[in-house]
Structure 1
Amino acid sequence: MTEFIVPQTSAKAQKHSAPQDRIRRWVWKLCIATLILMAIGSTTRVMNAGLACPDWPLCYGTLVPRAQMNLQVFLEWFHRLDAALIGVGALSLSVICWWNRRQLPGWLPWAATFALGLIMFQGVLGGLTVTQLLRFDIVTAHLGTALLFFSTLLVMGTALTPYQGTGTAGKLPWLGLTAAILVYLQSLLGALVASRWALHQCLTVKALCSVMYSHIGFVVLPSLAIIAVVWMSWRTPALHPTLRLLANMTGGLLLLQILLGIATLRLHLQIEPLTVAHQAVGAALLGSLVIFTVLGWRDSASAPITGLRAFLAAR
């Protein structure tokens, strides 16, 4: 009887985990695609290709503008194509989650629906970006929504990834969340600087310098928060190696981001790859903090179980 029951339970567990495994892999693929999409969007902006397609959602009235195709048109057209594919991927994710909801955590279909809502809103903002001729507040909201969509996917993927914590994270998740929020706000300020061309304005006609200086000055707060995450991670005994690695990664990305920011400022945005890398590294920094925070909460949640296991082992 025991030999019969064990395989039956194992088969049932495998049946329930199979959809979750497929969804987890799909979510991580969407995360990578979204990061690439944001880099393409940044390239489109620094190459002055935001209005290369004067209409929306088509480009010169067609799906593929072969006659008008050049580098700028290609960047804007490909950016839209990539965004549309991610939108289809988010729709598929939501449908699959609701279809398999009985075999998934209860929060997952709702999270997938929230992500779908964000990408739909992002599509509306993308259209308004063109029809409103790159209005700075819409462009800023466009990047802010993209980062929020990216973060939502990361929360889903990290929550679905197998992980056995050590129960030693303590207050680190809250520190990581604080740092993530500050980095997100700093990214919005950076988007505002970019959408208003504040650096060019300040260096040439001494206008909008307050916008540029707000981005430069605010960097102190997220930097201190990230340094605190790294320092506390080093001082936390028996911290899970993954959390320690993520903390070190955020410290390295912070240093790289500051160097890129200084280079971008000193070179007056003359080297486009530096500007694109500055935004991409900022998104990666936010992503690493989101993953660190979610894993930290999962680690903290395992603390009572870990303590019980240690007590039983000691006895």
Structure 2
Amino acid sequence: MLIQLAIMGLLVALIPLTLTWVSNDVNKYRKLVWVTLFLTFDLIMFGAFTRLTDSGLGCPDWPGCYGHSNPLLAHEHISAAQEAMPTGPVTVAKAWIEMIHRYLAMAVGVLIITLMVIAWRRWIKSRHIEIKFRPWFPSALFLFVCLQGAFGAWTVTMKLQPIIVTIHLLLGLTLLAMLAWLGAQQNEHVPVSALGRALAWPALIGMLLLVVQIALGGWVSTNYAALACNDFPLCHGTVIPQMDFENGFTLWRHLGKTADGEYLPFPALTAIHWVHRSFAFVVIAYVAWLAHKALKDAGLRKTGRWLLIVIALQLVTGLSTIYLNWPLAIAVMHNGGAALLLLLLVMLNYKARYAPLAEGKTARISVLRAGENTAPTI
């Protein structure tokens, strides 16, 4: 079974590997980094779809499905479970959703291994001269994707325990951020002014605030608290509703239960939702201010513009989940928007710290030339 699963992951990975190989890009390594990032973003989106469709236990064992490498071979077991509980966690559709998510994850693992091998070979071949092929970061990515795989296994074996699922989500987004940083290292960047360089620390603060908000959003999702407040801007008709913070933010407990094993009270779900909603305004205000500052610098302007667009879309999708009673497509988009915001803030942090510093007339000429010759970036 393990060999069959490895083959499935390799077959999925062959598609982006082939597209990279036949592309016209001279720097295949840079191309592969960005292709891997794109597939990781897709994996995060599909992971959100898996979670939001309650498919996390579509195959209740790991890494296969009832001991098989695909749901076709496990059809008898899946059908029996679905017949016994038609609306339960195991159905044919949910099994396929869960296994496709695992195949995508394995493909990302294959791509990261490929990046690590290429980096080591180029680093040794260049006799440790080519800085862009330093293998330490790709090797760290490999170790990190192994850790992510372990939490993926625990997500299933520990029956969707909220803290495990939330950490699994955060690790996936951290992997995306690391790939974005590696991609930024491969690109050429438009020089930034002293004003842009001064945004290095504010950009780091903005990214940390977003990480806190993503963690809160993950806690909402893994506890199924998205509709705990179904009105806006009030919650249950009041600014500060009845809430149970103690049970809501007890981290080590089973899904839907308190630490004592009792059913989780509704005020606990309200507390989870309300904190995420309230902190969102802090993040929106700060990121909008940060993007406004970035617009004033030629090297950061494009990233700042995209930040404003995505933060606006994120607000719209967040409100739509409440007003439209949590439609699946919009909920998935909201998860994807958070990942895209993180990616943009990683790029802003990199550019503010490591992009060339513009100085005087010569720098203005270099800015124009860089804008003509640089590969499209965000």
Give the TM-score, by structure 2 length: 0.71
Q: Secondary structure at the match of 1:208?
A: helix
Q: Secondary structure at the match of 1:198?
A: coil
Q: Which amino acid aligns with 1:266?
A: Y
* Cα distance, 1:245–1:180 mapped onto 2, change above 3 Å: same
Q: Which amino acid aligns with 1:226?
A: V
Indicate yes or no: 2:295 matched with 1:295.
no
Written as runs of structure 1 = structure 2, the 5 A alignment for 1:102-117 is 102-105=128-131, 108-117=134-143
**Alignment RMSD (CA, Å):** 2.4
1:201 touches 1:207 (CA, 8 Å); kept in 2?
Answer: no
Written as runs of structure 1 = structure 2, the 5 A alignment for 1:156-305 is 156-168=182-194, 169-200=196-227, 205-234=266-295, 236=296, 239-240=297-298, 243-269=300-326, 271-299=327-355, 301-303=356-358
In the alignment, which residue of structure 2 is the partner of 1:97? 119
1:214 offset after TM fit, Å? 1.1
Indicate yes or no: 2:153 matched with 1:127.
yes
Higher RCO structure, 1 or 2 (CA under 8 Å, sep 6+) = 1
Structure 1: gaps spanning 5 or more residues:
1-18
1:310 offset after TM fit, Å? 6.1
1:189 touches 1:215 (CA, 8 Å); kept in 2?
Answer: yes
1:178-207 deviation per Cα after TM superposition (whole angstroms, max 9, x unaligned)? 212211211111001110112345669443
Q: Secondary structure at the match of 2:27?
A: helix
Rounded to whole Å, the distance in 2 between the matches of 1:20 and 1:27 is 13
Rounded to whole Å, the distance in 2 between the matches of 1:310 and 1:230 is 23
2:192 touches 2:352 (CA, 8 Å); kept in 1?
Answer: no
Number of residue pairs matched by the alignment? 286
1:246 touches 1:292 (CA, 8 Å); kept in 2?
Answer: yes
Which stretch shows the higher mean deviation, 132-141 or 289-298?
289-298
1:22 offset after TM fit, Å? 2.2
1:178 touches 1:225 (CA, 8 Å); kept in 2?
Answer: no
Rounded to whole Å, the distance in 2 between the matches of 1:23 and 1:256 is 32
1:199-258 deviation per Cα after TM superposition (whole angstroms, max 9, x unaligned)? 345669443211111111111222122122122134x3xx22x52121011011111101
1:255-299 deviation per Cα after TM superposition (whole angstroms, max 9, x unaligned)? 110111111122332x11111000001101111111122122223
1:20 touches 1:104 (CA, 8 Å); kept in 2?
Answer: no
1:199 touches 1:209 (CA, 8 Å); kept in 2?
Answer: no
1:167 offset after TM fit, Å? 3.2
Match of 1:40 among 32, 36, 46: 46
1:112-137 deviation per Cα after TM superposition (whole angstroms, max 9, x unaligned)? 11111111100000000000000000
Which stretch shows the higher mean deviation, 218-227 or 149-158?
218-227
1:107 offset after TM fit, Å? 7.7
In the alignment, which residue of structure 2 is the partner of 1:145? 171
Rounded to whole Å, the distance in 2 between the matches of 1:216 and 1:202 is 10
Q: Secondary structure at the match of 2:65?
A: coil
State the percentage of identical aligned residues: 27
1:97 touches 1:104 (CA, 8 Å); kept in 2?
Answer: no
Q: Which amino acid aligns with 1:267?
A: L
Which stretch shows the higher mean deviation, 56-65 or 99-108?
99-108
* Cα distance, 1:107–1:184 mapped onto 2, change above 3 Å: farther
Indicate yes or no: 2:101 matched with 1:79.
yes
1:51-106 deviation per Cα after TM superposition (whole angstroms, max 9, x unaligned)? 00011001121111212483211110000000001011111111211121125317
Q: Which amino acid aligns with 1:219?
A: A
2:132 touches 2:185 (CA, 8 Å); kept in 1?
Answer: no
Rounded to whole Å, the distance in 1 between the matches of 2:155 and 2:354 is 39
